[in-house]
């Protein structure tokens, strides 16, 4: 983690040049991250973001966004796998969904206002 943090802090060696996707290392890292995430539940920003930045050549904002999509998919799969026949109360589920989506849009709006 310290190595990837230093590399991210230092910045890309070839700014403005599109990185070439290295399929074999990405498949190996994806398999390793998936194994660790499935085994112990860690993986989101801790493993996926450094892998996408350092090996995948993605910019930090794109790597974070990709990581959030992966986390959402893992969370949905875990939720659906644990619910079985017993779903949580629908009103509670709707409140949580509305709050999460509203918070995401609110943060997006705040970020755009702060960038001006």
Q: What pTM was estimated for this model as a whole?
A: 0.56
Residue 7 has pLDDT above 50, yes or no: yes
Q: What is the pLDDT of residue 12?
A: 57
Domain boundaries, the chain: 2-85, 88-116
Tens-place pLDDT, residues 84-110: 767 778 888 889 889 988 988 888 888
Tens-place pLDDT, residues 10-51: 665 544 445 566 778 878 888 888 788 778 876 656 778 888
DSSP string covering the chain, please? -HHHHHHHHH--TTTTSPPPP-HHHHHHHHHHHHHHHHHHS--IIIIIHHHHHHTT---HHHHHHHHHHHHHHHHHHHHHHHHTT-PPPHHHHHHHHHHHHHHHHHHHHHHHHHH-
């Amino acid at each position: 983690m310290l190595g990837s943090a230093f590399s991210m802090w230092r910045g890309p060696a070839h700014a403005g040049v599109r990185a070439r996707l290295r399929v074999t290392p990405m498949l190996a890292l994806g398999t390793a991250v998936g194994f660790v995430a499935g085994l112990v539940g860690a993986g989101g920003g801790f493993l996926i973001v450094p892998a996408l930045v350092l090996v995948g050549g993605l910019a930090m904002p794109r790597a974070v966004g990709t990581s959030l999509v992966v986390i959402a998919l893992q969370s949905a799969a875990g939720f659906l796998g644990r619910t079985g026949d017993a779903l949580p109360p629908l009103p509670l589920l709707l409140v949580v969904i509305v709050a999460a989506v509203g918070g995401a849009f609110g943060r997006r709006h705040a970020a755009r206002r702060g960038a001006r």
